């Protein structure tokens, strides 16, 4: 019987931050992998926290994604910064969902009335279907 180890929460967090920044730049896993000289499957493993990212590779990723290495550790579990802020890991996961960055970028270009309309549509779409009632 093989016992599967759970990924370290820091590795999961760093991977989620890599994914977030990659998506912010509209960069595919393939493109990031090519820039690093590795496969997109390896990028997937990094982003899930399944595989740890070594220090030199993390520096290379930071350069490609145009951020400081500290970006990947912001709000990491167990850090004093995380304890002070009310951000939840669920928020990070939401930002890496398909279309999340597209929605946020479009929302940023809306005026107040447009933002309210988007919120109303989202709230309506989130309600359970009551057609059977």
> What pLDDT, in 10s, does the model give residues 78-108?
765 544 444 556 676 777 777 887 888 888 8
* CA 87/CA 29 separation, integer angstroms: 26
Give Cα 131 distance to the centre of its chain.
Answer: 35
* CA 38/CA 45 separation, integer angstroms: 11
Mean pLDDT score, 32-61: 96
* Domain identity same for 42 and 66: yes
* Domain identity same for 81 and 101: no
The answer as to whether 92 is a domain residue is: no
Residue-level length of the chain: 133
Name the nearest CA neighbour of 57 among 8, 23, 6, 15: 15
* CA 78/CA 20 separation, integer angstroms: 20
Name the nearest CA neighbour of 24 among 63, 67, 56, 85: 67
The answer as to whether 133 is a domain residue is: no
pLDDT(133) > 50 = no
* Residue 27 structural domain: 1-86
In total, how many domains does the chain have?
A: 2
* Domain identity same for 82 and 101: no
CATH number at residue 74: 1.10.260.40
**pTM of the complete model:** 0.67
* Domain identity same for 19 and 68: yes
């Amino acid at each position: 019987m093989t016992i599967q180890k759970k990924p370290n929460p820091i590795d999961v967090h760093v991977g989620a931050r890599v994914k977030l920044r990659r998506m912010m730049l509209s960069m595919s896993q393939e493109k990031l992998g090519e820039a690093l000289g590795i496969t997109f499957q390896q990028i997937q493993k990094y982003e899930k926290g399944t595989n740890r990212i070594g220090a030199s590779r993390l520096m290379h990723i930071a350069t490609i994604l145009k951020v400081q290495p500290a970006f990947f550790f912001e709000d990491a579990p167990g850090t004093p910064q995380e304890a002070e802020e009310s951000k939840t890991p669920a928020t990070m996961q939401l930002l890496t969902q398909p279309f999340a960055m597209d929605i946020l970028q479009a929302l940023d270009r809306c005026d107040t009335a447009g933002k309210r309309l988007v919120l109303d549509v989202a709230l309506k779409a989130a309600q359970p279907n009551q057609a059977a009632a």
